A = this chain, B = another copy of it.
Amino acid sequence: MSVYNFSAGPGVMPVEVTNQIQRDLPSYKDSGMSVMEISHRSSLYTELELEAEQDLRDLMKISDDYAVLFLQGGGTLQFTSVPLNLATHYHKAVYLNSGYFSKKAIEAANRIDELTVQVIENSDPTSKLPKIDGHIDNVDYVYLTTNNTIEGTAYHQIPKFDQSLVVDMSSNILAEPYNVNDFDLIFAGAQKNIGPAGMTVVIVKRDKLVKQQLLSDVMDYRIEDNKHSAFNTPPVFNTYAAGLTFKWLKKMGGVEAIYQQNLEQADMLYDFIDNSKVFNNDVPAAERSITNAVFKTASSELDQEFINQAAAHGLVNLGGHRLVGGMRASLYNAMPTDGVVKLIDELKQFEVTHGGK
């Protein structure tokens, strides 16, 4: 059965990439070894890593002022590594609390003894996203989550600060264009727009990294930068698969081209929802995520009925996060437009049989 996979992550990957992995599997570059079996000290791996890094630099226009790292431990470990690496001067950071994963980051930062964490909550009833008014003195960085996977919201415009800005871009990296130079650090788990779970991209301005001894060297961006992310054995297969996705995206026309497709898909879906008598989304239009569209019916029973019915028709993983319920359609880069068309057909059909016009 062929399905459309709307999972929030691990999620859909480009079929060209999974096909390539399948073809490469017995013998990587005619080495007689699978890519899973090559030594991380071999030139085969070094070339693979450098190529993936360069392709990501090309896609996001990342200058040599920044290190590009491929690390383990997920976004969750970065919640700790980020303050350890960057909060070294004022020992103070400001966090915009925009949802579940921001809260997780705040909780991790709060565990660091010497760090003062200032949290900005949203106070505008017409908005879902906290904002900063003006300048905050003497902080090492301001932290925000560009796209809130669970809440279906996103900062499409990055506020201009003169402070250092750190972003968790896990769920919309490479899906919409951001200017890397606006940030001192970007991190993103691979499992949404990059590749299989188990690798996390960190893009960090090199001159922000100071020499220090952290609790673990694998959390130390300076060390990982010096070792091209191979201070210890890196997740070779995961970086390889990410590299294939970068090449696929370049072939698709890059971030700007995929952004147009993502925007078109999201607009189609939100348009339908806004005109629906059964489904609704309460996020202000300007703050809606284009990678994670959340919506609900009037009851959780009806939500579940829709999720089950859609799954029976090959539209899978449409359930919302357990904390918020409802539905969530994750429209990552690898989602074909046909999947969104089929989803809207399914929604229409459900509406006809459930009291809509």
A residues contacting B by CB (< 8 A) are 1-3, 5, 7-13, 18-19, 21-22, 25-27, 30-34, 36-40, 42, 72-77, 79-80, 108, 111-112, 189, 191, 195-199, 213, 215-218, 231-238, 241, 314, 316-317
What residues of B have a CB within 8 angstroms of the CB of A74 in the complex?
A: 72, 218, 232-233
Contact B1 A198 (CB under 8 A): no
Distance, CA A111 to CA B111, complexed state (A) = 18
Establish whether residues A10 and B38, one from each chain, have CB atoms under 8 Å apart when the complex forms: yes
**Contacts known (A11-B37, A38-B7, A237-B196); A218 close to B76, Cβ less than 8 A:** yes
The interface residues of chain B lying within 8 Å CB-to-CB of A111 are 213, 215-216
Chain B residues whose C-beta falls within 8 Å of the C-beta of A241 in the assembled complex: 36
A237 touches B198 (CB 8 A): yes
The secondary structure that dominates the A interface is loop
Cα distance A27–B27 in the bound complex, in angstroms? 21
Q: Nearest residue in B to A6 (C-beta to C-beta)?
A: B39
B10 and A216 form a contact (CB under 8 A): no
11 A-B pairs (CB sep. < 8 Å): A1-B32, A7-B39, A13-B37, A22-B26, A32-B316, A42-B317, A76-B231, A80-B215, A191-B233, A197-B234, A237-B237
Q: Chain B's nearest CB lies how many Å from the CB of A58? A: 24
User: Nearest CB to that of A9 among chain B residues?
Assistant: B233
A8 and B34 alpha carbons, distance in the complex (Å):
15
Q: Known contacts A5-B32, A36-B196, A39-B317; can you find 16 more A-B pairs with CB under 8 A?
A: A1-B30, A1-B32, A7-B39, A8-B39, A9-B233, A10-B37, A13-B37, A18-B36, A25-B25, A42-B317, A72-B74, A73-B73, A73-B216, A76-B218, A196-B235, A196-B237
